[in-house]
Structures are given as structure tokens and as C-alpha cells.
Structure 1
Amino acid sequence: MHPSAHVDTFAREHLPPPELQPEYLFELPELQFGPQLNCASELLDRHVHEGRGDRIAICAPGVSWTYAELQDKANRIANVLVHDMGLVPGNRVLLRAPNNPMLAACWFAVMKAGGIAVATMPLLRAKELKTIVEIGQVTHALCDSALADEMQLTAAQTALLREVRYFHDASETGLEAAMAQASPQFDNVATASDDCCLFGFTSGTTGVPKATMHYHRDVMAICTCWPPQVLRPQPDDVFIGSPPLAFTFGLGGLLLFPLSIGATAVLLEKAGPPQLLQGIQDFGATVVFTAPTSYRQLAAHGDVLRATRLRKCVSAGEVLPASTRALWKQATGMELIDGIGATELLHIFISHDENTARPGATGKPVPGYRAKVVDDEGREVPAGSVGKLAVQGPTGCRYLRDERQRQYVKDGWNLTGDAYLVDADGYFHYQSRTDDMIISAGYNIAAPEVEDALLAHPAVAEAAVIGVPDEQRGQIVKAYVVLKPGHAADAGMVTTLQEFVKQTVAPYKYPRAVEFATQLPRTSTGKLQRFRLRGN
């Protein structure tokens, strides 16, 4: 391979050893990457160099940037990172913002400078951010001034963060003021194709987040497999959607995929169904990425949607109910494109297009990937039998110095934690999660983390959290709570606990259902038996 360009070698030193990594597949001709690769050169600069600099790259309410303008801003931010903030290749940069053009420019600046982007969910609190900073040994941060409060709390709690700059900040210390003084020219760092360029954090089942490590070649691999083979977008497409860029689902669907073909990305800071519907109309969106929950609500506006340019609708982030697929088709005339991905593999690896969709089925392995369903010993199970999903492809799980690598990768295969069955025609059908992860409206929520938040309240003696089925959200968080003596188990206490959790961890993790109990089911050694609660 090309020698690493990283001066800060933290990431390379803490990769899982080769024997604990999955087998990688590069069978497609398009996956034959050279030893040297910087994904910003391919996704952004290439369009300017090849004469497409005047095409619209990114839109938002009141903002429209061409590829040349996005490159100019990314170059200036890269110069600020290097010359003002002291970034060296391999340093980690925390990125904090709702989906907006400046976040995209910052992401590309980090790529250009050879840094490692650590994008974070806007709703995270300082407690969660501090953990991410410590796991990733993050030294730099670029943050939207709208999120300054939690960022300042985080910086005050850890000495690791040496340099923090805020954008959408009109002051003389803001990022924009530094950009105005910086050169619009920047020579991208000559990174190796296997240099890390992003850490994608996933909460895991214990509530202790894991950092998934992805290379420049991984970013290009996901642009090479699913989009051209399944989505088949065109350069005149306009992409829009709801997932945050901190989700790899959102990063791919709303930034990497459109820019890989010279198309346009629309970034909305708020993208609930009303804003998404308005955005589809205002920007002439043709491709939408959102979760089944959102499609159910948008289906009520089928007549409006039929009058727009929308032509491709992608569902991921949680299981797609057959009823939601049918509702959307009836309302809009369009077939949803379903898929399953994982932060560990960066994006979608099983999917289908509009013509091969089957109700209740996720689809077949995306070209470039292979998948099978196995038993506890790793043996493939017969068609129609439920087992563990195992996947291989050009991307795969590399946890940053985390023992859970041994559970995710077995015998060269990625075990995603999903239970699946394969039918006689080779279609993969999702059954459930195999762990304690709750997937609600596309968000991954770890039960133990919510339990910890509840237990911090002085009225709570014990707490157990599970996911329960919900037609709108797929699952919701339900808490079983044992109160300490002297506290009333009433509606007022439910509201108190819900608000307390919202203030402790990201608000989307709060329990939407709370049931009071006198005791929780436990083993003789005191271990909580969540499976018995699920049987209730």
C-alpha cells in the first residue's frame, strides 16, 4: 500500500489486528482502488477540474453553492485547520451541526487536510460528547454556534480538545472570519487509500459507544456499489432527506452519493415530515432518504407528492413494514426502495430496486457484497430458517480498540446483530435484533444507557428498558420502573422521569411508555432478565 500520510498515527496503531478483521471483497472492477486516495479529490475537486464547477452542489433554505463554491469554502476551512488550528494529518476533528452546507464544507475540509472526521448527532449532550472525545482522542472541533452550549461544557470537561472553532459566528473569532483571511487554494494531503478518514460512532448494546473506523477507500466503495447498482441516480437528480450527516445512512444518502455523480444535495436543519414535504416541493427534489415512520406520515400528502419531481424513495434505518410499503405505493404510485446497512459496514449491503421489491423482504445482497444466514456455530442454515445475518464486502467492521470486535467479526464475516431468514428465491427477510438494541424511528438506542439515566433520578430504585412494537416508529422505548418508598407512581411521575431522561441523554432516547412495577425479573445472581419483560 501507499505509505500512510498520517503524522498522528493513533488510528493506525489502534486498528484491530488483521486476524480480527473481516475478509474484504474487491471483486468488482470498480473496486480496484489505487494505493493513494483522498476521497475529497474524487467527490468534490474532480468535478471542478473536469469543468463542472458551476453545477449546484448543495442547497439549503436561502443557500445555493456550486461545486466551485463548495471547494472554495472547504479549501479555506482546510487552511484554517492546518495553519490556525495546528491540525496534522491523522488528528481527529469533532463536527457538530444540524444538516447544513457549512457542516458539509467542514467535512470535506477535514478530508482534504488528512484528518479524521468524527461527526456527532446534534442532540447529544456534553456527557455523551465527552465519552466520544475520550474514546477517539479527539483534539479539534468545528461546531455550529447554535450548538455551542454543550460543546463548551464538553471542552471544559476534557483537556483533550485543544482547538474549537464555531461557525455561523459573526464575531472576529468565528470560523468565517478566519476563512476570509485564508487562501482559497489547498493541496489535498496525499492520503493512502487505507488511511482512516472518519470514525462513525454507534451506541452499541451496553451504552458505551463504539467507534467504527473507515478508510478513504471505504467512502468511495459505498459510492461504487449500492448507488449505481440499485438506486441508479442521474447527475440532474436532487437528493433530500431526514437522517443526520452524523449517521452514515445520512452521510451517504445526502452528501457522498449525490456528489459522487455531480448531482445536488439539499440539506435541511429540521427534516420532520412537514419540512421534508415542503423541501421536496421547494427544491424540486427527485430522490428522498428517510425512515418508514416518516413515509407513513408523508403518505397523507400523496396528491401533493404526485405533483412533484420526486421519483426515487429510499427507506432504511429501521425495518420497513409491508403495510407502510403498500400505503406509500397507493398514495404516491412509487415503490419504496428498502435496504439494510450498518455503521460498521458504512452503508447499505442488502437492498432491492423498485422492480424487484417484495413486501416484507429487505432484498438481496448488493453487488460487491455477499450475505448468508448462519447458526451459532457459523454454519449456513437452510432456506426459511431464522439465524444470524453474516455479511462480507469491500467495507467491514473495524472497531477502535474495542474488545467487541471479536463478537462482530467471526471467521472473516461481519455478524450484524440482526436475525434474518432467506426464502427459496434468495430474498432476505428481517426478523429482529439479536441484542438489546432498540431501533425507534431510525434511531439506535441502547437499553442500558436509558436505564442508567433513569437510575440517576432520586425517586428511582430500579429500572429496566426494552423496545416494544409500535406501528408508527417500529419500536418505542418502554421503561419498567421501581420507585423508592414515598414516591407516587402516577402520571406526574411519568412526566417527571421522561423530562429527566431528556435532560440527561439525547432527547430521542427518552421512554415514551413508563410502567411502574414492585420488582423486576432477575436471575439468582441479580442479572436483569429483559426477555421476561418482552413477554409481557
Structure 2
Amino acid sequence: MLTPSAHDDTFCRDHLPPVADWPDLILDPDGPRHPDRLNCASALLDAAVAAHGRARPCLHSDSETWTYGDLLDRANQIAHVLTDDYGLVPGNRVLLRAPNTAWLVACWFGVVKAGGVVVTTMPLLRAPELAKLVELTRPALALCDHRLLDELAAADPELPICAFGGPDADDLIRRAATKPVDHTDVQTATDDVVLLAPTSGTTGIPKATMHFHRDVLAIADTFSARVLRPHRDDVFAGTPPVAFTFGLGGLVIFPLAVGASVVLLEKPEPEALVAAIEKFSVTVLFTAPTAYKALLKRDDPDRLRSLRRCVSAGEHLPLDVFERFRERTGLAIINGIGGTEMLHVFIAAADDDIHPGSTGKVVPGFRAEIQDEDGHPVPDGTPGVLAVRGPTGCRYLADDRQREFVRNGWNLTGDTYTRDADGYFWYHARNDDMIVSAGYNIGAPEVEAVLDQHPDVVESAVIGIPDEDRGMIVHAAVVLRPGVPGDVEKIRELQDFVKKTAAPYKYPRSIEFVDGLPRNPSGKLLRFRLRERWAAR
């Protein structure tokens, strides 16, 4: 039963899936109990200042360090801008668009303190993709880094946008500087929606996962507190955008929950990441297997000597990468599986609990089992569908696909796993058409939809193929117009076309030209035939 909402704008409550379609939620018997009225910004940021002091370092960048007091003041000032200047009311959605910077974190907390609902977007998204998210989530306002305005403005010319970091007189940072540093945070309900986190489906139509204030604290109380086990002297860093729930947890929620600090990187290329680890003596690293592979290609492992914790998620961590990284650095990577629908990691292991090659065990507070196609549990050692329950779970915003992810109270992750007799989970493959490349989820149909817009393309089919560095890469089989040459120049042209129309990480790194695509008698595209043909090469 939901508690009474504090939202004046009831959009999120109105568009929750029917309760009958929710997953079963499990309250951790060993976890804290949260009150009915809970603002997770207050519970994280204000509580950290009270516990650790205003002067404690919080957010580092190459140019400056913000203390916890700095972040609190600026978040409070932004909350005043939202309510005083833009008339934000509790429950309004606010879209955020920026690279990983201190001001993005301040915006996140400012929105939440004002009772708003954060809509996270990745900086790489293009106007057509942003337009879909704006239509789905209906934000009242967007806060956008001044360097990223063009695509957002093109996505919806009617959406009010407040830029920050630029020269304009009405820049958010200038507005905030005129506001009080004290703020009375809206006392939202523990089960008011605080976050709409988009995830791409296999249709290319975005889904927004809806998470409550209590969910934000739940991931700190489970994976972070029970597996990662950070402390106040840790320094966090990583490559995932804060717009990813993996990045939000690892670079905002987990460090603030214990009073630690975090290094924010706008462009986390390998050299920048290594330099930051060395400069700030980073102890906790969050990134995907792709980055660990990149670090293994370097000849400077001594620059990583400050690390004590390395977390990998976003895609399966190959055993070879785990073993070579441990040989080079002495560090055993904490492998994990999470998901936007679950908010963060729910299977992982650390230290002596690690079984190399496995994803790990169920994080305390969650339950997981392997099921057959009918939803029945299968014996240990038998491959099947990974199903999860816990204190968080899937709630899609106004989306019939809720019933595809939730079955009989279980969240279905879309992965094929086996569990062994010791309770360890072993990954086999994705069981849908999602391509996980370097930690990014890429729906095959959305890349096809972009390719098919090119005037020389008759039709296309996209699959994921194995790649040593990225895990998987996007491969496209393309049928061209008669007479159009399928050569190297055309491959580059199509790749550039996708990069300009969609987020660049979605472009097909491999393209082949074919005379036709495999389809069944009803015309349905048979991508598995393409996978079979590729595997037979």
C-alpha cells in the first residue's frame, strides 16, 4: 500500500504500473527502517554534513575541490532557483543533461530537495533520442550544461531550459549565487518517485524506470554496505556517467552515504582515468570490463597502486580479464550484475567470497533463482532465466512491457545463467536482442531504424558479435539500393550517418552488405540466422 504522496504534480503516481504487475518487494530484515516521510537528498547530503562536517572534501576535479558544505550550499541554492524562479512544484520532472561534473551532482540534489523528480539523460544522446524521452517523461524544465544545449533545444523547442556553466547573465550558476544557502527540503513520501531512469528496449522505444526515495537508500544499504564496504577515507572514481544508475550509485550515492569523496571525470579516457587515480590516490574504482581491458594494455600498473576496491558491471567480466588484472595489480575485481530496473547491483562477491569467472552470490537483501520458460525454478547446474527479488524492483512509466520484465513477482533480467551448488551464479548470454557493448545497452532495432533512414539503404539487420576489447560490438547486415557500391567508403558513410543521428556509441563498428535478410513467412526478421551465419565463419 502506497503512503500518501507529497507530490502536487501527480504524474508519476498516475503512471505507475498497476500494483498487481509490480515485483514482490523484500524488506531487508538486517537493514535500516525508513520513515514514511523521506527525502533521500536530506538523508544523504544533509546527514553527511551533520556527521562529517562542512569542511570535509566531497567532489574533486582537475580544477577544484568542493567540500560537503559547498555541495550542500549549492544544492540548496539550486532548489531555490527551481521553486522561486521557475515555479517548480513537488512532483514536477526536471531533465538533467551534463557530463560528470560537480554542478551536475548539485543539480541532482537541488531537484530532489525541491521535491522534483530527476530525469537522467546521457550527454551522448542526440535530438531524436532526447525528443522521445521528453515526450515520455514530460519534464517541466531542463537543467543543461551550456556546451550541450543544441541537441536538447532541437529535441523540443518548447521545453524551458536553464543552462549552466556559460557566460549568460541568467545562467543557473549566477542565479544560484543570489539565493539563500539554507533550504527546507520537501518532506516527500518514502515511496514518492524521485528518479526516472531511461533504459533502451529491444524495440528502440525508451522505457523509463521509476524509483522511489527509499530505493536510493536501499542500494547503499545492500550492495555498498554489505559487499563493497567503503569507509569515509575512501576516494571514489569511475567512468560511468552519473546518468547511468551504475554511475549514480558508484559516484554519488555510495561515497556520500559514508562521507567519502569522489573524483568526477568529464572525459574518462584511460589516460585521464589513470592520471586521476594517481593524482587523488583513488581507492575505489567503478567501471566496465572494457576499461579494465584498456588498463591491461598499458605498461604503468604502478600508477594504480592506491586502489583497494575495483568494481565491474555493465556487462560480463571475462575470466581472462579478472586473472590478468589480478596478476598485474594484485587486485581481485568485484564482478557484479545489476540493471536500471533494479537500480544497482544485486549479485556480486568480494574478497575471499570471489569465485573467479562467476558473477558472484546474491547480495544480502536480495533473492535470486534460475527459472525455466514457465517460471519454475530449475535445479542447480541447469541454465535458465535469471529472476530476482529485493528491496528495489522494476516499475516502468506507463509501459505495457512491465509484464515482460516482471513475472509472478520476480524481476526477469533477460540473462541466461546457471547457479551452482554453492550459490554462485554463472553467466551464459543475453536472451534478447540487446547488445551490451563496453557497458552500453544498445537495442538492435533502434540502430536498424537509424540505418534505414539513409537514402541508399533498403533494409538492415543488426546483431551483436564478439569483440575482445568491448565484449560485443554492433554488426549490421545492410541491403543497399541497386547499383550502389558496397565498398569501404560506403561503410564509413553509414557509420558517420549513425553517429550524427544517434548516440555515437551505437554506431555499427562492423558492416557487411548482403542481397537480402532472413525472414520467416510472416516477414519477421530472423536475427538468430545472422548470428548463426556469423558464428559459422
TM-score normalised according to structure 2 size: 0.98
1:368 paired with 2:369, answer: no
Three-state SS of the structure 1 residue aligned to 2:518 is coil
* Superposition map of 1:61-140 within 5 A: 61-140=62-141
1:212 and 2:209 aligned: yes
Question: How far off is 1:309 after superposition?
Answer: 1.4
Residue 412 of structure 1: aligned partner: 409
| Residue 490 (structure 1) shift | 0.5
Q: Secondary structure at the match of 2:400?
A: coil
Distance 2:480 2:114 in 1: 52
**Which one of 322, 331, 339 corresponds to residue 325 of structure 1?**
322
Q: What are the residue-to-residue correspondences of 1:15-54 with 2, within 5 Å? A: 15-54=16-55
1:242 equivalent in structure 2: 239
User: Are the structure 2 counterparts of residues 389 and 484 from structure 1 closer, same or farther at C-alpha, using a change threshold of 3 Å?
Assistant: same
1:199 paired with 2:196, answer yes
Shift of 1:307: 5.9
Q: Equivalent residue for 1:530?
A: 527
How far does the alpha carbon of each residue in 1:19-68 deviate from its partner, in whole angstroms, 9 at most, with x for none?
10011000323242211110111110112223521111111111201111
What per-residue deviation string (whole Å, max 9, x for no partner) do you get for residues 335-356 of structure 1? 0000000100000000000222
Q: Give yes or no for contact 1:384–1:423 (8 Å, CA) kept in 2.
A: yes
Report the Cα offset of residue 296 of structure 1: 1.2
Alignment partner, residue 227 of structure 1: 224
For the residues of structure 1 that align with 2:104 and 2:475, how far apart are their CA atoms? 34
Segment drifting more, 439-448 vs 424-433:
424-433
RMSD across aligned positions (CA) = 1.1
Residues 303 and 332, structure 1, Cα contact 8 Å, conserved in 2:
no
Runs of at least 5 residues in structure 2 that lack an aligned partner in the other structure = none
CA distance in 2, matches of 1:315, 1:272: 16
* Aligned residues between the structures: 532
Map Cα deviations across residues 485-508 of structure 1 (whole Å, 9 max, x no partner). 121010000000000000111010
Tell me how far apart the structure 2 counterparts of residues 306 and 228 of structure 1 sit (CA, whole Å): 27
1:268 equivalent in structure 2: 265
State whether structure 2 residue 305 is matched by structure 1 residue 337: no
Letter in 2 for 1:214: H
Distance (Å, rounded) in 1 between the aligned partners of 2:444 and 2:351: 35
Distance in 2 of aligned mates of 1:348 and 1:154: 32
1:500 corresponds in structure 2 to 497
Describe the SS at the equivalent of 1:225.
Answer: helix
Q: What are structure 1's unaligned runs of at least 5 residues?
A: none
Deviations 1:334-383 (A, max 9, x none): 10000000100000000000222122200010000000000011110111
Report the residue type matching 2:147 in the other structure.
A
The one-letter code matched in structure 2 to 1:314 is V
Q: Which amino acid aligns with 1:52?
A: G
Does structure 2 conserve the Cα–Cα contact (< 8 Å) formed by 1:93 and 1:140? Answer: yes
SS at match of 2:198: strand
**Matched letter for residue 199 of structure 1:** L
Deviation digits for residues 299-341 of structure 1, max 9, x if unmatched? 2446544663111100001110000001100111110000000
The alpha carbon displacement at 1:17 in A equals 1.1
Q: Distance in 1 between matches of 2:26 and 2:327?
A: 39
What is the aligned-residue identity percentage?
A: 54
Report the secondary structure of 2:217's partner residue. Answer: helix
Cross-structure match for 2:286: 289
Q: Which residue of 2 aligns with 1:491?
A: 488
In 2, Cα distance between equivalents of 1:127 and 1:306? 41
Code of the residue aligned with 2:486 in structure 1: it is A
Separation (CA, whole Å) in 2 of partners of 1:308 and 1:381:
43
The Cα shift of 1:83 comes to 0.5
1:464–1:520 Cα contact (<8 Å) kept? yes
Checking the alignment, whether the CA contact within 8 Å between 1:306 and 1:332 is kept in structure 2 is: no
* Bigger shift: residues 170-179 or 508-517: 170-179
Superposition TM-score, scaled by structure 1 size: 0.98
1:164 correspondence with 2:158:
no
Q: Which residue of 2 is the match for residue 394 of structure 1?
A: 391
Q: Deviation at 1:176?
A: 1.4
Report the Cα distance in structure 2 between the residues aligned to 1:496 and 1:323, rounded to whole angstroms. 35
Match of 1:83, SS?
helix
Is contact 2:301-2:328 (8 Å) kept?
A: no
Counterpart-to-counterpart distance in 1, 2:429 and 2:423: 18
Whichever residue aligns with residue 16 of structure 1, its letter is: P
